[in-house]
Amino acid sequence: MENKKINIIGGGCAALSLARLSTHLPDYSFNIYSGDSSNVYDDHYWGFWKTNVNIDAYNNANHTWTKWAINTNGSSRVLSSINHPYCVIKRHKWLNFCKSKFKTSKIKIFNESIFERNGDLFLNNKKIRGNIIFDSRPPKTLSNILLQHFEGFVATSKKDVFDPETVILMDFRCDQSKGIHFIYLLPFSTKQALVESTIFSKNIESKEFYSNEISKYLKKYFNLTEFRKSNFEKGVIPMHYISLNSQGRYNIGTRGGAVRPSSGYAFTFIQKQVTQIIEQLVKRKKINTKIHKNVDLFLDKILIEVLDKFPEIAPKIFLNLAKSINGDEMAKFMSGNYSFTTVFKIILSMPKIPFIKSFFSVVTS
């Protein structure tokens, strides 16, 4: 029987999400090069809306909510969806679930880092060979671009303060002097929530800035001054389309263009990407890792241009978006599965002048 080899570089979301589906490819054996101990990442939560493509993650989710809110100084909008709840799963839980699906006789894991030289990949000076190589090493980021950067922690209070029914997806009632700034709050119970301070700007702030902003927010809107901090999280996600082309291998995950530039969401898109790859291999089709539609990337470019040039209207943009559609529509829109009507409603709700100016700036650049 034919036995072909697939090499997967990386041991994160894209690499292991792909390897978990390896049982669909009985003709192949797999080598996973997951990086050495310097590449071990702290645990954190991945948020996503339930769709067909992430059903395994939904079934293993740490928490799910059917309601989510967007708050600004003057207004608030709560959206809900029974069909597409907002979910979170912890990184290590998902990666362990993926590993539990491995057929061990078919998969070898090397906890070592791969080095690139003149476009080829090496493990300890030995060139990586195989029929197919999928690479998910984190890409280098460009300088002077808009970034989504965030820090936060799980806050545990002695008193009941949080509404465990409703996620606060974006609350703009915080200091806007450093860039577009909002608080993201996932209520795990009445006493416990993950709270993050998130900024869209070109400069990372000090640790104290994010932490102070969270404390000020919890005091002002939850009358909460005494709480325990745990499970610290931080991240930086470029708000720019990154999709690297490499000779002789396929890039997946962040380096393979899975991150949606305007939102930073990638988990669902990675699940779509790996499912698409497996289907292509099963059907012996050409591998295509592209996951975002051209129109989505174009609309993202315009939105990012607006956010960059007119940051003061960001709260209005996200609030109007949430007011123009219902929860099912928003969940599908954020997961890249929307209808033309949804986009039309969103476009109509946007402030016209900044979007027209940004449209021309994008098409002429």
x/- mask, ligand FAD, residues 322-351, rule CB under 6 A, reads ------------------------------
Distance CA 15, CA 265 (A): 17
257 lies in the site for ligand FAD, by CB under 6 A:
no
| Binding test (CB under 6 A) with ligand FAD, winner from 12, 85, 152, 354 | 12
Backbone angles phi, psi at 235, to 5 degrees: -170, 160
Distance CA 224, CA 232 (A): 19
The set of long-range contacts for 220-225, using a CB threshold of 8 Å and a minimum separation of 24, is: 220/173, 221/171, 221/173, 222/161, 222/162, 223/161, 224/155, 224/157, 224/159, 224/161
154 lies in the site for ligand FAD, by CB under 6 A:
no
169 lies in the site for ligand FAD, by CB under 6 A:
no
Distance CA 305, CA 227 (A): 39
Mark residue 88 as left, alpha or beta (left: phi above 0; alpha: psi -120 to 50; beta: remaining).
beta
Smallest distance from the beta carbon of 53 to ligand FAD, in angstroms? 12
185 lies in the site for ligand FAD, by CB under 6 A:
no
Using the minimum distance from each CB to ligand FAD, give the nearer residue, 110 or 359: 110
Which of the stretches 10-18, 172-180, 239-247, 324-332 binds ligand FAD when contact is defined by CB under 6 A?
10-18
Smallest distance from the beta carbon of 284 to ligand FAD, in angstroms? 25
Smallest distance from the beta carbon of 114 to ligand FAD, in angstroms? 4
Using the minimum distance from each CB to ligand FAD, give the nearer residue, 31 or 358: 31
113 lies in the site for ligand FAD, by CB under 6 A:
yes
9 lies in the site for ligand FAD, by CB under 6 A:
yes
Distance of alpha carbon 259 from the chain centroid: 6
Smallest distance from the beta carbon of 363 to ligand FAD, in angstroms? 29
Helices within 152-309 (DSSP H only):
207-222, 267-282, 294-309
Which of the stretches 7-15, 49-57, 61-69, 205-213 binds ligand FAD when contact is defined by CB under 6 A?
7-15
Strand, coil or helix: what is 323?
helix
x/- mask, ligand FAD, residues 46-65, rule CB under 6 A, reads xxx-----------------
| Binding test (CB under 6 A) with ligand FAD, winner from 5, 44, 93, 99 | 44
CB-based closest residue to ligand FAD: 12
Compute CA distances 264 → 100, 107, 214, 328, whole Å: 28, 31, 21, 20
Smallest distance from the beta carbon of 147 to ligand FAD, in angstroms? 11
Question: By the 8 A CB rule, do 266 and 335 touch?
Answer: no
Distance CA 193, CA 88 (A): 12
Pairing relationship of beta strands 28-33 and 107-110 according to DSSP bridges: parallel
Distance CA 347, CA 126 (A): 52
Binding site for ligand FAD (CB under 6 A): 9-15, 33-35, 39, 44-48, 113-114, 136-138, 233, 235, 237, 253-254, 259, 264-267, 270
